[in-house]
A and B are shown apart, each in its own frame.
Chain A
Amino acid sequence: MAQTKQEIAEANRRRYEELRAAGQELTPKGLPEATALDGAPIAPDAVISREQVPAGWYATVRLRRGEALRVIDDSGRSSVSLVGWREEDTSERINCADTVKVQWSAAISKGRVILSDMGRVLLSLVEDTSGAHDLMVGGSTPASTPNAFGTPSRNTQENFLAAAAKIGLSLRDIPPCVTFFAPVSVDTAGRFLWNSGRKRAGDFVDLRAEMNLALVLSNCSHPLDPTRPAAAEAITLIRHRAPPPAHDDPCRTTSPEIVRAFAFTDGLYA
Chain B
Amino acid sequence: MFFEHLGKNQKHGHFAPIEHNHTCFILPEYIQRHIIEKGTEEQKRKAWQSLILTEQLRGRRNVAGSLYTLFAVADKMHRTIFDAKNSESLPGYLVRSEGGKSKGGRPVNEAYDYSGDTYNFYRQVFDRNSVDSKGMRLDSTVHYGEDYNNAFWNGTQMVYGDGDGQVFNRFTISLDVIGHELTHGVTQYEAALEYQGQSGALNESLSDVFGTLVKQYALKQTADNADWLIGAGLFTKKVKGVALRSMKEPGRAYDDPIIGKDPQPAHMKDYVNTSSDNGGVHINSGISNHAFYLTAIEIGGKAWESAGNIWYITLRDRLRENSNFQEMANLTFEVAGSIFGKDSKEQKAVSKGWEGVGLSPKKKKSKKQ
A binds B: no
Which residue numbers of B lie inside 8 Å of A, CB to CB? none
